[in-house]
Amino acid sequence: MSAEAPQEEGAPFRVGLLGHGTVGAAFEELLAQRADEIARFNGRRPVIVGVLTRSRGSFEEILAESELLVELVGGLEPAREYLLRAIRAGRDVVTANKQLLSHHGEELFETAREHGVRLRFEAAVAGVVPVVRVLEESLSATPIERVHGIVNGTTNFILSEMASGSTYEQALAEAQRIGYAEADPSDDVSGRDAAAKMAIVARLAFGVPVHIDQVRYEGIEHLELDDLEYARELGLGLKLVGTAERRGDGISVRVYPTFLYGGHPLASISGPFNAVTVESGTITEITMSGPGAGGRQTASAVLGDVVSVMTGGARPPAAPLAMPLLEDVESAFYIHLDVADEPGVLAGVTRVLGEHDVSIKSVVQRGMDERARLVMVTHQVLESRLAAAMKKLAEFDFVRSAPRSIRVIEEEFM
Ligand SMILES: NC(=O)c1ccc[n+]([C@@H]2O[C@H](COP(=O)([O-])OP(=O)(O)OC[C@H]3O[C@@H](n4cnc5c(N)ncnc54)[C@H](OP(=O)(O)O)[C@@H]3O)[C@@H](O)[C@H]2O)c1
């Protein structure tokens, strides 16, 4: 607690809990189990002094009773209002709410700085994987160049199933059956959930405020099974990858289905897991991975934040820096073309690609009756140049269906 009188050694540490759903209920249970151990090394035992849901509890009473508030309500309002009121009343706060931080992070950080309170949010990014703390504290002396993340376990599970031969629809149904995907999975499969998390990652890695609407993202709904099959022949595996990187004087934040070569640390992350790779000249590369969601797992990250506040852990992110967000960056691409099997096709394709500065690294060609598939991986090219080339290719009479492209990460660290 920051605004009130210091607590005596041994007094209970009073926690108010907003939200008692999947994570809130698991948090209450975990706190009860761990309270004695926390008291043993902290001197104070955390206790929950009040719980707020739609049908029970009073925010005012919980605020008055608590030293720290844990927000596990989710969504924008009233979560934002509750957190701002708690911070203004001098309470430290912990949240797992990525939507809120990716929309109103700067307002919350600034208010927390003004009032000298702590605002912790480890569970908002990759569940129990300690990405926030590592970026904020362990790597605070390291100039970070790039962060790649698989930050949505639902889509990673679906892509793992597709890599084993399931269609997108079958894989999604399986994810829903097991409970990895919600009945309405649109936030996950559209890439929006990952975009919210990458906005937060970019703020931590580069100090630049990023609103979710500034993150370019694409989901996995339109992927075709044969893209995965051809890519396998080229030594590539498909993941939904979030990227936050420094390019010259600007930064780029984006989420796209992306192919990785086998030697990339994210290539081996399968099933409902999350992983984040941080790259810097100083450290080469660090990868952290683990469960990205689940009530108990998320609750353990939330409780870690509570303990961090109790032990005087980090302040809210420093005042923001100004750096432009780049719209157009270079990437390597996988291109899939369904073409007529006739003379002149390859020459036409390579001419258009050449005119747009797209150079080819590898090609797989397959004949199928009077049609052929051309699958290529390009070298680095500006996204806008590739998009223009794809538009031009679609105009050829010999192109039988809309050309498809998927980004490729070329780096391998093994
Ligand atoms: N679930 C995960 O695996 C996971 C992983 C990482 C992060 N998170 C984040 O953790 C947070 C909580 O997620 P969850 O899955 O636990 O959500 P949830 O199961 O839907 O629970 C939400 C809780 O908030 C309460 N609530 C909702 N609107 C409220 C309002 N207007 N006033 C007071 N209480 C309200 C609900 O009350 P009722 O009980 O009355 O409905 C419920 O207790 C979210 O920000 C989510 O993004 C979740």
CB-based burial of residue 225 (10 Å sphere; 0-12 exposed, 13-18 middle, 19+ buried)? middle
Amino acid at 208: V
Q: What is the pLDDT of residues 321-368, one digit of tens each?
A: 999 999 999 999 999 999 999 899 999 999 999 999 999 999 888 877
Neighbours of 32 (CB within 10 A): 12
Cα–ligand 1 centroid distance for 375 (angstroms): 44
pLDDT the model gives residue 8: 60
Neighbours of 290 (CB within 10 A): 18
Residue whose CA is at the smallest distance from ligand 1 atom 23? 19
The rounded mean pLDDT for the chain is 94
With tokens 């600034």, the residue in question is 110
d(CA 96, CA 34): 19
**pTM of the predicted model as reported, rounded to 2 decimal places:** 0.94
Helical axes 153-163 vs 168-178, angle rounded to 10°: 130
Kind of pairing between the strands at 68-71 and 92-95? parallel
Tallying the residues shown for the chain, one arrives at 414
Q: What is the pLDDT of residues 296-334, one digit of tens each?
A: 999 999 999 999 999 988 778 889 999 999 999 999 999
Cα–ligand 1 centroid distance for 19 (angstroms): 5
Residue 289: helix, strand or coil by DSSP? strand
Q: Which atom of ligand 1 is nearest to the CA of 26?
A: 16
Cα–ligand 1 centroid distance for 16 (angstroms): 15
d(CA 150, CA 163): 16
Residues serving a catalytic function are 197
Q: What is the pLDDT of residues 237-246, one digit of tens each?
A: 999 999 999 9
Pocket test residue of 51, 53, 102, 157 for ligand 1, highest count of atoms within 8 A of CB: 53
Pocket test residue of 73, 82, 104, 200 for ligand 1, highest count of atoms within 8 A of CB: 73
CA neighbor of 316 nearest in space, from 212, 142, 200, 215: 200
Asked if 111 and 87 touch (Cβ cutoff 8 Å), the reply is: yes
pLDDT the model gives residue 7: 56
Cα–ligand 1 centroid distance for 199 (angstroms): 21
Positions of E strands within 325-410: 330-340, 360-368, 371-378, 381-382, 404-409
Torsion of CA 333, 211, 136, 111, to 10 degrees: 180
Helical axes 98-115 vs 79-88, angle rounded to 10°: 10
**Measuring from each residue's beta carbon to the nearest atom of ligand 1, which residues come in under 6 Å?**
19-24, 52-55, 72-74, 78, 96-98, 123, 127, 293-295, 298
pLDDT the model gives residue 3: 42
